[in-house]
Amino acid sequence: MESTVEDQGTVTKSVETLERVVIRFAGDSGDGIQLTGNQFTKTTAAAGNDLATFPDFPAEIRAPAGTLGGVSGFQIQFSSGDVFTPGDSPNVLVAMNPAALKVNLADLTPNGILIVNTDSFGKRDLQKADYGKNPLEDGSLSGYRTFRVSLTDLTLAALSDNPLPKKSKTRCKNFFALGMVYWLYSRPLKPTQDFIRTKFGDKADVLEANLTALKAGYAYCDANNTFQVHYEVPSATLTPGTYRNIDGNTAAAYGLIAAAQTLELPLFYGTYPITPASEILHELSKHKEFGVITFQAEDEIAGVCSAIGAAYGGSLAATGSSGPGIALKLEAIGLAVMTELPLVIIDVQRAGPSTGMPTKTEQGDLLQVLFGRNSDSPCVVLAAQSPSDCFTTAYEAALIATKHMVPVFVLSDGYLAFGSEPWRLPDLETLPGKPVKFHTDPATFAPYSHDPETLARPWAKAGTPGLEHRIGGLEKQEGSGKISYNPENHQKMVELRQAKVDRVALDLPPIEVFGPKNGKLLCVSWGSTFGAVRAGVGRCLKRGLDVAHIHLRNLSPFPSDLGEILRRYETILVPEMNMGHLRMLLRASFLIDVKGYSKIQGKPFRESEIAEKIEETLEVQS
């Protein structure tokens, strides 16, 4: 749909309505790419669009400026309809330098909008990006709607009266570019203006420079004859409520806080910083008014051991890390299994092995959290499916841990941790759960007796008179908790700890099937693959293909109806960002053939990749 408006009485500007748009900002980390993307996201969320984002950071700290390894990116898809992913290919690419152009150009849709900062395409800039020829001059950009903009010079011109040094003025070019994109997609300036005033309120010259650059970028498009079309994306129809934009790490932190409030427990988070999980610690440290205690330990082992001690003392205890840190925590987590203490462990997965690619996403820790401890040491394992679902998953993990007196893993990953989407604030009064009741009666206390329904042992705060009992890693005698080497008791306790985890399945809701309830092909996703798989299956269903989708949030134990659902379909396909962890588990658990589809590139699946794999699988079947 198009309409026209008169711009300044001289240039006719067209306004086109679109259902959805994908924009990618790219440049050096020093170009403020993440800040620019976050500001566009917040403004778009306030406008009522559904959205999903994908921040993409360099894997190296302070990679050389202008090089391919130093490119930072931020992609957002926003729409008037449902959004499940940050989008496959951007419709708009803002490239701040040649390296950003080279890394991202292949993803831009044909005839897509390309905004290039021509001031950064000098000979040395091109060399650092491994360009033999200048792409602005060799015709390689002819397939795109290219806007060559002197972002640096225009920013400096707009700030000619500002007393800041030239280098500081140059840093404002990201706000000039943001103003341009705001004009192109009919976004208001006010949210970002308010942000600038808050962030730089005590630095008058910096504040004024950024405000001026933002308005100058908007005015440049408004006045320039080159920009004759801008676009509108109407608000989405969302469930009524209060929304805010949220990333996965913040959501996980809020989930722990909300659970602590419901359970009426103090929250203790003991950890050691690691990418991409550190932001959970940072966020929790801001909320001491809710009884939150954060402890940045000297290492990963101390972090988890402090949390186990907090659980023994009667706190809702949690720790968090990524794959390498989880590996260090595993022996202590086995202690939590043995002592039957509630503990929430958040694993924000990243590409490995070893240090791997710290800022890139992966799903490589599933087998580690299931089986990485010595002997049979069962834990409950949940996996969040979206940034906002990290709240729900962390909340549920805390309730399960305290109800069954068992450690619970929450699997997230870098894609969810830094990605964001609109989150409808929950009604705290309707959240499930109830306050924890500690055991206080010495006459009825047997420290390793077990509730017949949940198999939880009684939780007694350390130091409660008359409730003294043994704790530690040696095998317990059922009931008394005394050290026991009795063979029959050991087998009974090992089986009991597994049965405690299995008992969680009794509370799980039935699996929801998206698409036909039986047929040729079923796609099974877990964790962050949810969005791409749901969107890819949805695309194929519209074309009449015989495919369905289920998503697993509970990976240990599996939902009780999973096997029956899997057997309704001729073929099972599991897309994973690993070498086939869930595929292996489904084969072993249900003795059925399962096809795998692995992507291990540090990048999430695209909707189109899932749709193409579905088509390929169905063609092979026929």
Per the DSSP assignment, residues forming a β-bridge with 571 are 521
Report the number of secondary-structure helices (H) and strands (E) in the chain: 20, 22
Q: Is the Cβ–Cβ distance between 173 and 163 less than 8 Å?
A: no
pLDDT for residue 622: 66
Average pLDDT over residues 316-330: 98
DSSP secondary structure letter of residue 299: S
Taking the CB of residue 166, how many other CB atoms lie within 10 A of it?
9
Residues 6+ apart with CB under 8 A from 615: 540, 545
pLDDT for residue 608: 97
**Each residue of 419-444: pLDDT tens digit?**
999 999 999 889 999 999 999 999 99
C-alpha 15/C-alpha 28 separation (Å) is: 32
**Each residue of 604-621: pLDDT tens digit?**
999 999 999 999 999 977
Give the pLDDT band of residue 29 (cuts 50, 70, 90). Answer: confident
Average pLDDT over residues 281-309: 98
What are the b/e assignments for 126-163, b being 16+ CB within 10 Å?
A: bebbebeeebbeeeebeebebbebebbebbbebbeebe
pLDDT for residue 13: 77
Task: Among 84-88, 210-214, 428-432, name the one with the lowest average pLDDT.
Answer: 428-432
- Inform me whether the pLDDT recorded for 9 exceeds 50: no
DSSP secondary structure letter of residue 357: B
- Inform me whether the pLDDT recorded for 55 exceeds 90: yes
C-alpha 234/C-alpha 351 separation (Å) is: 37
Give percent of the chain with pLDDT exceeding 90.
Answer: 93
> In 3D, which of 413, 592, 389, 408 has the Cα closest to residue 507?
408
- Mean pLDDT over the full length of the chain: 95
Both structure tokens of 252: 């996980």
Average pLDDT over residues 200-218: 96
pLDDT for residue 113: 97
Give percent of the chain with pLDDT exceeding 70.
Answer: 98
Q: Angle at Cα 387 formed by Cα 385 and Cα 390, nearest 5°?
A: 70
- Inform me whether the pLDDT recorded for 12 exceeds 70: no
pLDDT for residue 228: 87
Tell me, rounded to whole angstroms, the distance of Cα 568 from its chain centroid: 32
C-alpha 158/C-alpha 169 separation (Å) is: 9
**Each residue of 340-399: pLDDT tens digit?**
999 999 999 999 999 999 999 999 999 999 999 999 999 999 999 999 999 999 999 999
Per the DSSP assignment, residues forming a β-bridge with 542 are none
- Inform me whether the pLDDT recorded for 8 exceeds 80: no
pTM: 0.94
Give the pLDDT band of residue 63 (cuts 50, 70, 90). Answer: confident
Give the pLDDT band of residue 584 (cuts 50, 70, 90). Answer: very high
**Each residue of 444-493: pLDDT tens digit?**
999 999 999 999 999 999 999 999 998 999 999 999 999 999 999 999 99
Both structure tokens of 359: 């800022």
- Inform me whether the pLDDT recorded for 179 exceeds 90: yes
**Each residue of 138-164: pLDDT tens digit?**
999 999 999 999 999 999 999 999 999
The residue among 3 and 204 whose pLDDT is bigger is: 204
Tokens 């402090």, residue located: 306
Average pLDDT over residues 582-600: 98
User: What sign results for the dihedral spanned by CA atoms 83, 89, 93, 97?
Assistant: positive
229-232, strands of its sheet edge to edge: 2-7, 11-17, 229-232
C-alpha 445/C-alpha 93 separation (Å) is: 65
Tell me, what amino acid is at 193?
Q
pLDDT for residue 84: 97
pLDDT for residue 11: 55
293 burial level (CB within 10 Å; 0-12, 13-18, 19+): middle
- Inform me whether the pLDDT recorded for 507 exceeds 80: yes
Q: Which domains are present in the chain?
A: 2-232 (3.40.920.10), 244-430 (3.40.50.970), 442-507 (no CATH), 519-621 (3.40.50.920)
**Each residue of 521-534: pLDDT tens digit?**
999 999 999 999 99
Helix/strand/coil (H, E, C) string of 569-592?
EEEEEEEECCCCHHHHHHHHHHCC
